[in-house]
A and B are shown apart, each in its own frame.
Chain A
Amino acid sequence: MAGARRGPNEAGHEGGAGLGSSGARSEHSEAARERLATNPFYVLGLRPDCTRAEVERQGQKLIGMLELELSAALRYRSPLGEHPRSPQLVRAAMAELRDPNRRLLHELWASLDPDAGPDASPDSGPDAPTDEAGPPSELRPFPALAALGFGDWRRR
């Protein structure tokens, strides 16, 4: 317990109980948002009771439309709002629904109607909630670092 010299003293070494492994961190809610927003049924614009053939047909149709950059296929809705759709996302959704074990869980999460979510916003993406109003104008940010001489990365 005593310090090596006249200086400060060390504490005793307390032992802690053995506990389980570490897991989720606070960013987990971001992963949960991502999981709900990219549910394969929402990505494909299908309901959970659709057949496997419908999944394949809808997937191929969407990929074709995306290759032609048709505006009707560029975005999709989930209960979290509107999100951009890409061929990669569509292919991943089709692959997910081919696995019956995975599809069972996706069906449960997709029980909620995607239109039950907030109104569509043209700039919304999977990472941007669409139901949030911006701050009042007087509370908007101000480039104070540049104003006080600390520099500004935007000049770069």
Chain B
Amino acid sequence: MSPRARGPSAQAVSPLMLAGLIAALSAATGSARHKPEAPIASGAVVAALIWMILGPVWLVELGLLIDALRSGDLADVALALVVLATTTIVLFPWPIARSLLIPRGQVRLAWAVTRLSFWVWRRDVRGGALIAASWAATRRAQRGVELSSELITWIDRRMAAAPRGAVRWKLGGAGIIAAGLLAEARQDRTQTRRLLSSAAELAEPTRPRRAIALASEWLCAEAIERGAWREVEFLARTAPLETRTTKFLGSVAARLSRVAPVPSDLVLRWQWFAAPHRLATRELLLRALATPATAREASGEARRVRDPVVAEGPPLLVALSLHAQALGLAPSDLRRDEISRLARAWDAALADPSLDQRLAERGAALGAHASLQRPDQLSELVREDLLGLVRGAGLELGQLSEDSELLGRAARQLRGELLDGLEIATGALESRVDSKRELPALDEWAAFLALREQYAEAASLGGLGLRRLAFGTVHGPVCSLAVWLWNDRSERALANAMFRWLLAEAVVVDDAAAVRLQERNVDCGV
């Protein structure tokens, strides 16, 4: 290729590339200003502009490169390669970051290249770049390269950096997901799961669709790693954003756990074909195809039928035998009737006069303290064990407490503990909000999630009665926190999610005043 032939093209390229870069840079700063009501994201406009300018340039450069290769002009090849590489990065930033930089753990490069990804992360390029950086950090740690504190600080600084200008929210769904992936880099799987599943609760404009899709896929994959197929099926079915991957994983899970409607072979094959990572997920397809396409019987085929082997003899022996059997089971496998039977057995054992006699005789023979020669200490231990079993099994206390005196006392104790725990947590939150002691936005969100988990436990164990009491305890402090975040701290995304949760709970517990208040608060939007 002659210099002359290249001349006009090069003259055309330079101003066009310059214009593209200027547009990209201006958009990179502008994308931080949230305009949720805008019908078209500013990132999409910038992406279209870049493609209109650089797309033809890229094609021309590709042609020039082929010409240069044919003519064997090394200088032209090198020049064309440099221009082509530059334009490729600007035109395809996310595929490059996703397939090259993130798997290699290139944190800073992944972040920088994703800042150019205006199409994929159109409403939140900054959040997308944070996700890329955190994801790359995880992959880096997984490759055995220790994450330096300097690198963590670098990511944290970018997470904490407030966007320029007036913003409605600083932390959105992308930031939460980035923090979750960073927790995975620290091998804190629980926190990762908690943060990734919470991001979808934010209002639509405050969470990029791509980030939510990514989080849904991660959550499904993580549940598969644990063999929790029912959970996978549930996650895929209720995912806020359906992707080809979650569709396929959900169908596999439904087929394997035989949850109706069980997908047919044809559906499975099609969804596998349509989803990415076909080679890597082929084993899942084969496993699913090998499972019968019929729903499991409602009689509970999955549940192992247990006929408890109850020891014959004195009531204490019977109770101990049932106790050992209950402790030997996984908490989630415990049924209500098994705990009821155990509690009744202990009622009988503790009321048996021969137990008092035995304690008195052995206590005297051993020289034990007189206060211990009564079954009170045993009763206390048993009550705590029963409480642990009930909590582990996630059973509702309301009906259980009617079955046995011991369980009744245990239920009263547990109710007290649950409300007490909530009161301590909400008290701390309330005093912090009153004295305006700020935490970073992510920590505020984590504190809310922790409080909500406590509340959920109380609600699931205590039934509607305890749920009402618990709501009365959490409503005020959580609402105050959300109002503070909304009014004073430009964290409307988090505040709005808190208002919406409070509204949903207010409806469940039928608190008319709270419903009215939270309806108004939710209407404030983001």
Interface stretch (choices A24-32, A59-67, A68-76, A82-90):
A24-32
- Given A9-B521, A19-B423, A32-B384; A4-B488 close (CB under 8 Å): yes
Name the one of B281, B366, B417, B421 contacting A100, with C-beta atoms under 8 angstroms: B366
Query: How many residue pairs, one in A and one in B, have C-beta atoms under 8 Å apart?
Result: 231
Task: Decide: A144 and B221 in contact? CB cutoff 8 A.
Answer: yes
- Given A13-B430, A22-B420, A24-B388; A104-B483 close (CB under 8 Å): no
The answer to whether B486 has its CB under 8 Å from any CB of chain A is yes
The answer to whether A123 has its CB under 8 Å from any CB of chain B is no
Instruction: Say which size band chain A's interface belongs to.
Output: 35 or more
Could you tell me the distance between the alpha carbons of A154 and B391 in the complex, rounded to whole angstroms? 33
**Hey, which chain B residues are within 8 Å of A116, CB to CB?**
309, 311, 321, 324
**Hey, which chain B residues are within 8 Å of A108, CB to CB?**
316, 359, 378
**Nearest A residue to B323, CB-CB:** A36
The answer to whether B49 has its CB under 8 Å from any CB of chain A is no
**Hey, which chain B residues are within 8 Å of A118, CB to CB?**
328
Could you tell me the distance between the alpha carbons of A121 and B205 in the complex, rounded to whole angstroms? 55
Name the one of B328, B419, B488 contacting A129, with C-beta atoms under 8 angstroms: B328
Q: For residue B255, give the distance in angstroms from its CB to the closest CB of chain A.
A: 9
- Given A25-B391, A138-B290, A149-B277; A11-B475 close (CB under 8 Å): yes
The answer to whether B273 has its CB under 8 Å from any CB of chain A is no
Could you tell me the distance between the alpha carbons of A144 and B419 in the complex, rounded to whole angstroms? 39
Q: Of residues 461 to 502 in B, which have CB atoms within 8 Å of A's CB atoms?
A: 469, 472-473, 475-477, 479-480, 482-483, 486-488, 495, 499
**Hey, which chain B residues are within 8 Å of A26, CB to CB?**
331, 388, 391-392, 457
Q: For residue A28, give the distance in angstroms from its CB to the closest CB of chain B.
A: 3
Q: For residue A17, give the distance in angstroms from its CB to the closest CB of chain B.
A: 8
Task: Decide: B368 and A101 in contact? CB cutoff 8 A.
Answer: yes
Task: Decide: B327 and A156 in contact? CB cutoff 8 A.
Answer: no
Task: Decide: B514 and A11 in contact? CB cutoff 8 A.
Answer: yes
**Nearest A residue to B377, CB-CB:** A105
Task: Decide: B304 and A142 in contact? CB cutoff 8 A.
Answer: no
Instruction: Convert B359-372 into 0s and 1s, putting 1 for each residue whose CB lies closer than 8 angstroms to a CB of A.
Output: 10011001111001
Task: Decide: B389 and A142 in contact? CB cutoff 8 A.
Answer: no
Could you tell me the distance between the alpha carbons of A81 and B325 in the complex, rounded to whole angstroms? 11
Interface stretch (choices B15-23, B73-81, B151-159, B224-232):
B224-232
Name the one of B139, B327, B381, B483 contacting A3, with C-beta atoms under 8 angstroms: B483
**Nearest A residue to B375, CB-CB:** A108
The answer to whether A131 has its CB under 8 Å from any CB of chain B is yes
- Interface, chain B (partner A; CB < 8 A): 98, 103, 135, 138-139, 141-144, 187, 217-218, 220-222, 224-227, 229, 245, 249, 256-257, 277, 280-281, 283-284, 287-288, 290-291, 304, 309, 311, 316-317, 320-321, 323-324, 327-331, 359, 362-363, 366-369, 372-373, 377-378, 381, 384-385, 387-389, 391-392, 413, 416-417, 419-421, 423-424, 426, 430, 457, 469, 472-473, 475-477, 479-480, 482-483, 486-488, 495, 499, 514, 517, 520-521, 524
